[in-house]
Structure 1
Amino acid sequence: MRAVRAAETAATTHPWAIHADGLQVRAGRQLAVNGLDLALTTGVHGLLGPNGAGKTTLMRALATVLTPAGGRLTLLGRPVDGRAELRPVRRALGYLPQHFGFYPRFTVREFVGYMAWLKEMPKATIPAAVQRAVDRVGLTSRADARLKTLSGGMLRRAGIAQAIVNDPQILLLDEPTVGLDPEQRLDFRELLRDLGTDSCVLVSTHLVEDVAAACTDVVVINEGRLVWQGTPEGLTTQGDHSHAGDSPAERGYSAVLRRHRAEAAR
């Protein structure tokens, strides 16, 4: 029996959990992401942009659902392209699509457990991991309820539970607060802050206030390109009362988009 070196058991670290360089991704025939440069590490990152900006296409590429059409994408130090073996990356991912499918007759516990099995989690660890995920999203009392009996907000929370059941290194959430009431949104923000302490969390949303309250970093894209990246506090300084919005963060977001469109029109 040989000795095991410390380097072999140490956690693998990467300069960037997500790194895109000139990334291009197609949505049908259209290049929805076109030359995107992005680097994200541990923390909670809010992804903002108008309808058609390429947010969902980008999230699908990061979830390895779509293959890049050009440029370079690496996740946890591994390239993502048509030739790479993606199973190690997928085991370390959590993903909640904007519209996710489920088996209506499954209970919450069965659904989250099934997703844990698909992620190739060790069988012995699944029951405890499922219970923890269900508890974290506030569905403890409904763990054995069938999905078809849940409200829209509860279904969304079940979707979040399946995304976090494997304690992912990269967590991708596309419009996660749809259907959540104000109290549930506050709880979700607290959960995000907790998850972001040791994971790279990317949240795509139209709710600028959720980003300002829960994220450590803001990414604004438009027409498939990076428009602005910085802190929520930095975003609030980008605009003033002449810009559209009901809060400093919304006015800053409006100002960033307005400046980008003016420069693109030159």
Structure 2
Amino acid sequence: MQSFQYLRLENSSGLATIVLDRPETLNAINDAVLDELDQAFTMLERDDQTRVVMITGGGDKAFVAGGDIAAMRQMSVLEGEKFVYRGQEVLKKIEDSRKVVIAALNGYTLGGGLELALACDIRIASEKAKLGLPEVCIGLYPGWGGTQRLVRLAGKGIAKTLVFTGERISAEEARELGIVNKVVKHEELMTYCRTLAQKIMENSPIAVMQAKKAINQGSEISLDQALVLEAEAWLVNFSTEDRVEGLTSFLEKRKPHYQGK
């Protein structure tokens, strides 16, 4: 398996775990990290055995504390332009992945770190996690989808409050606002996420993939258009061997054996 400088990638029984591994910078994201995330997802997308990807942070303090401020301070306007578009490109690739992507938020999840988490399908937070979009506090504002995905997830009012103030909120506050799915004890975070991944992997891979497509794409269009999209994705799934296996196993009162066909 390909090795990386700033990521650790482990793959076991259909679950790939990506650890962002720059603990000395609280896993801050720079150009090199974006490139490695891009490469990792390109590789995983080609691997039909991988069903779920979990992303977490190295060390015990942060998921990702944001973009690399020291690197950004040295950027020209042209370099900044490349950086913002590159970040958007990589996060969109993660969002559009055929895999289910779980963000395991093990600490500070700020700025670009929260934007990365928002691009994932499911966000599980340690009770110690702190979340926020503090870019305005340093003369910037979120540019990797923070002003867009947060609105879609939590609404304009919540998004404006968090973006305009730069306030950090607790994991529990984030759960109450619908930004994270669940908060667990810090020491139970990885076990919980692996168990969640296993539950997902027990289901038909094609059904899960088509459901993700319907949810993601349907939320961006009108209800009438989304219902057509849903039906089309449903019919793709209905034509599969997995659909036959799922219905048959239910009637025969046994566990299904899905092949992804």
What TM-score does the superposition give when structure 1 sets the normalisation length? 0.28
Question: 1 or 2 for the larger relative contact order (CA 8 Å, sep ≥6)?
Answer: 1
Q: Of Structure 1 and Structure 2, which has the larger fraction of its residues in helix?
A: 2
TM-score normalized with structure 2 length: 0.29
